[in-house]
Structure formats: structure tokens, C-alpha cells
Amino acid sequence: MIEGILIGLNTALSLQNIIIVMIGCFAGTIIGMLPGLGPMTAIALMIPITYGFDPASGLILMAGVYYGAVFGGSTSSILLNAPGVPGTVATAFDGYPMAQQGKAGKALAIAAYSSFAGGTISAIFLLIAAPSLSKISLSFRSPDYFALMMLGLTAVSAFSSKGQFLKAMMMVVLGLMLASIGQDSLSDISRFTFGNMNLSDGISFVLIVMATFAMSEALTIIFRGKDPNRAAKQISLTELGSIKVNKEETIKMAKTIPRSSILGFLIGVLPGAGATIASFLAYGMERNYVSDEEKEKFGKGSVHGLSAPETANNAACSGSFVPLLTLGIPGSGTTAVMLGALLGFGIQPGPRLYQTNPEIFWSVIMSMYIGMVVLLILNLPLIPYIARILAVPRNFLIPLILFFSITGIYLMSFNNFDIYLMIGIAVVATFLRLYEFPMPPLILAFVLGKLIEENLRRSLLISDGSFSFLWDRPLTLIILLITIGIVGWQIYRSLIRK
């Protein structure tokens, strides 16, 4: 492991990669800060730029962008009470009241220190957990992978959909349908191409991510532009106050951070749960732990209340890389985008990545950590200046996002058809967003679609066409029972609500 860490450090600490991670953090912070745009959009917008990089540098850029966007999301939560992503909603509970009291700088500093500490602790967990889990997951067979992916899709739908499980499952089906377009890998039969040659290779992953995230998010901002409820209540962006944290506040943070980190990491490892649930749970848990006097301050600018969700959401971000790096199965929308990018570089994540491409495996983990250091050293002091990006008029912002999206597709194929297809999917996704259909299940299903099919077919071939592979191995059976349990629980919940 030490050797691996050194390889990772050697790659991640080259001058070129340090500059890349700094640019990534900076760009991610700016994109993540803009209300409505989250880490997935930030990563999607970076994909075309990574075409010119080697895989390790490309992934380092994305890791920087990811952490930058998470930090940027917290900034807009604290300053505007407008969380860019669900994962930072809980940050606004105490961060925004603190900003209203003229302590925006302090709130941002607490958020940054907590994120850094949460990230550091969970990076250590990741260092320990990933190699050992990689070894265990080598014993996984096709039926287990099939069952795990079904569990991932069900869990993401159950947890990412604000109680709208049915809509999330509909998005999963839509994602699987989109993934099945193109030539069948085994029989070379064209599926759902309607005789169009442009569809014979299937729809590209970048196109789907750009359309459903970057482009449709930009269109949604314009579409709902007249809605008075969505107008952000803005505090002064020029006077954020001091970023110094006093001794009493440091002691409070020191108590909160360890427990929230452990909780966040464990929740992040679970497929589908991720940063949102981790941050809410950490907020709730912290409230139970503190004294009655402190409890009263929750929702009014409590240090514990701000530090807990911030620590947990960053810890969960690192945790969500565990299933991606060890099993090759993303547990969240963001890691699904990362998986798509990895596959684009010709790298298949999974237990063998640790052995075949150790430099990539370790440099991604190391660069995640370097990204956090960069965020703390560079972004925090610069935040009063970066925050001014929030004042950029949307008249300029939206066309620039559309331009980046279309350029990404143009660079990939130099084909008009792909641009039209992207615009079409983005329009549909904009309307789906309006009715609160969640997009992460669609992306995850699209990325996993081909893998699910491959593993299902392989399992069927091995078991001679019989579906007995679903219960032959205890591991497969247990995973499938958990999946059925989640579906059953969702049905039970909606019955109770009726």
C-alpha cells in the first residue's frame, strides 16, 4: 500500500497535475456556486477539456472540480440560502442565519474547515478500505454484479427522489431504454436505431450527461426566470466579515467533526445514499448529542449545526468512491459521471484497476486529498472575490453554459445529428425537471445499462438459460433480498401515506 501511495503522490504532485487540480478546484467552485448548477454539471462541462489529457490528469481535473463544486455549493447555501445541490441543503439551516448576522466569512470558514477535516478523515478510511475491498470483490461473480447493480439503481431511486420513488423508477427505466439503443454487442443486431446510422453506436454518455444536466439546468433557470419564489434573497457579497474562527468555535468543531466524518463516510459507501442523506443524518445526530442550550441555537446559526452537515457531505463524497473504485459500480449520480469518464479513457474501474493501473487508482485518491488542501489554502481566502461571480447576470451565464455543452458534443463527433439529439433530450429533461423527475437515477441507469445486460447475459449463459442464478449463490440472494426490501418499504410507505 505504501508503494501505491508513493506512486499516487508521484503522479499527483507533478507540477502539471498540481496546476490542473488548482484549476479544477477553482472552476468547480465557480460552477458549484451558481444556484442550480451542481457537481455533476461541473464535471460534465469538464469532460471535453479532458480529451487532451492523459487518463490520470483527466481524472485529477475531475476530482478537483468535484470537490470545488461541493465547496461552491456550500458557499451559495450560506450566502444566498440557495443550495445548488441537495447535499448542501442542511448547510443552509445554520449557515444562512449566520450570514444574516453579518458572520458570512466565519460561516464560510467553518464550512471549509469542516469539509477539509471530513475529507481528510474519510480519505484515510478510503486508503484503508479500498484495497481490502478490492481484494474481497475479486471473488464477485456475474450474478453478484447483476444483483449489486439492481440494488444500486433501486437505492438511488429510493433515496434521491424526495419521496417520489415511482418517478425515480420511471427515470431508471428511461435510462435503461436509452442505454439499449445501438448495436447489440453479442449478436450485432441494431436495436431501436430506426435505420439511422448515427444511432448504430448508441448514444454517447457525454451527450446524455450534457443534455440532462448542463443544458437542461441552464434552460430550467431561464424557463423559471419569472417565478418570484425563486428569486434569491441576496446578502451583501462585498462585506462577508472576518474568516477567523475563535477558540470556542474550534472546540465545538473538534467535537462534531469525528462523529460526522464516520457517519458521512459509512453513508457514502452505501449505494444510492450519498451526501444528501449523510448531511441530514449528521445534522439530526448532532442535535441529539449537544447540550440543551446548544440545541436551542440550531437553525439560528449554530456552529455544530453548520459543521456537522458540511463534514458529513464531504466525507460521503469520498465514501461514494469506494464502490466505484473497488467494484466498478457507481453509487451516486456524480460517481456515475466519473465512471462514464473513466470508460471514455478506456479504463474499466473495478477490483482489477488496483492491480492493472495502480498509478490511476492511487493518483485519483491522492489528488482528491490534494484538491481539499488546495480548496482550503487558495479558495477560502479568495472567497470574497470568487463570491462576486454570483453577481454575473444570467443573460451572460446561460449562453456560456449552452456554448460549453454544445462544444463538448461538437468536439466529440463533429456531427450535426448529435447536437440536435442533445437539444431534443435537453428539452425533454427540462420539462421532466419542472415536474420534479429526478435526473441522477437516469444517468446511473444509462451508465449501468450495458453492464447490467452483460452480466445478466453471462449469468444466463453460465446457468444454461435458467434464472436459478438469482438464488444459487447466497451473496446474490442476499443482495436481491435487500433490493426487494427497499422496493417493499417504499410501497409500504406510500400505502401508509394514503
CA–CA dist 17, 48 (Å, integer)? 17
- Judged by CB, which is closer to another protein: 376, or 432? 432
Q: What part of residues 147-176 is at the interface with another protein (CB under 8 A)?
A: 162-167, 169
Does position 482 interact with another protein (CB under 8 A)? The reply is no
Does position 393 interact with another protein (CB under 8 A)? The reply is yes
Binding-site member from 6, 16, 51, 461 for another protein (CB under 8 A): 51
Q: Which residue, chain included where needed, has cell 481539499?
A: 372
Neighbours of 408 (CB within 10 A): 24
In 3D space, the residue among 113, 155, 163, 61 whose CA is nearest the CA of residue 367 turns out to be 61
In 3D space, the residue among 252, 275, 253 whose CA is nearest the CA of residue 264 turns out to be 275
The minimum distance between CB 188 and another protein, in angstroms, equals: 30
- Judged by CB, which is closer to another protein: 427, or 462? 427
- Judged by CB, which is closer to another protein: 385, or 417? 417
In 3D space, the residue among 349, 371, 382, 313 whose CA is nearest the CA of residue 66 turns out to be 371
Does position 270 interact with another protein (CB under 8 A)? The reply is no
Query: What DSSP string runs through 402-454?
Result: HHHHHHHHHHHH--HHHHHHHHHHHHHHHHHHHTT--SHHHHHHHHHHHHHHH
The set of cell numbers assigned to 396 is 451572460
- Judged by CB, which is closer to another protein: 245, or 398? 398
Does position 494 interact with another protein (CB under 8 A)? The reply is yes
Element (H, E) at 190: strand 190-191
Does position 394 interact with another protein (CB under 8 A)? The reply is yes
Does position 414 interact with another protein (CB under 8 A)? The reply is yes
Sign, CA torsion 180/185/189/194: positive
Does position 19 interact with another protein (CB under 8 A)? The reply is no
CA–CA dist 178, 40 (Å, integer)? 19
Amino acid at 405: S
Does position 345 interact with another protein (CB under 8 A)? The reply is no
Amino acid at 404: F
Pairing of strands 182-183, 190-191: antiparallel
Does position 416 interact with another protein (CB under 8 A)? The reply is yes
Stretch that binds another protein, among 76-84, 91-99, 102-110, 410-418 (CB under 8 A): 410-418
- Maximum pairwise Cα distance, the chain: 69
Instruction: State how far the alpha carbon of 31 is from the alpha carbons of 24, 26, 27, 162, in Å.
Output: 10, 9, 6, 24
Binding-site member from 3, 188, 227, 464 for another protein (CB under 8 A): 227
Stretch that binds another protein, among 85-93, 315-323, 415-423, 438-446 (CB under 8 A): 415-423
- Judged by CB, which is closer to another protein: 229, or 291? 229
- Judged by CB, which is closer to another protein: 62, or 303? 62
Does position 14 interact with another protein (CB under 8 A)? The reply is no
The minimum distance between CB 402 and another protein, in angstroms, equals: 6
CB 78 within 8 A of CB 55: no
In 3D space, the residue among 25, 122, 107 whose CA is nearest the CA of residue 74 turns out to be 107
Does position 428 interact with another protein (CB under 8 A)? The reply is no
C-alpha angle 225/226/228, rounded to 5°? 110
The set of cell numbers assigned to 441 is 437515477
Does position 402 interact with another protein (CB under 8 A)? The reply is yes
- Judged by CB, which is closer to another protein: 184, or 436? 436
Within 8 A by CB and 6+ apart from 301, the residues are: 94, 97, 98, 100, 101, 103, 107
Q: What part of residues 311-330 is at the interface with another protein (CB under 8 A)?
A: none
Does position 136 interact with another protein (CB under 8 A)? The reply is no
Binding-site member from 15, 187, 189, 226 for another protein (CB under 8 A): 226
Stretch that binds another protein, among 117-125, 196-204, 218-226, 275-283 (CB under 8 A): 218-226
Binding-site member from 258, 284, 381, 399 for another protein (CB under 8 A): 399
Give how many residues touch another protein by CB under 8 A: 49
CA–CA dist 426, 38 (Å, integer)? 16
Binding-site member from 124, 245, 378, 411 for another protein (CB under 8 A): 411
Judged by the rule CB under 8 A, the positions of this chain that interact with another protein are 48-49, 51-53, 162-167, 169, 219, 222-228, 393-396, 398-400, 402-403, 406-407, 410-411, 414, 416, 419-420, 423, 427, 430, 434-436, 487, 491, 494-495, 497-498
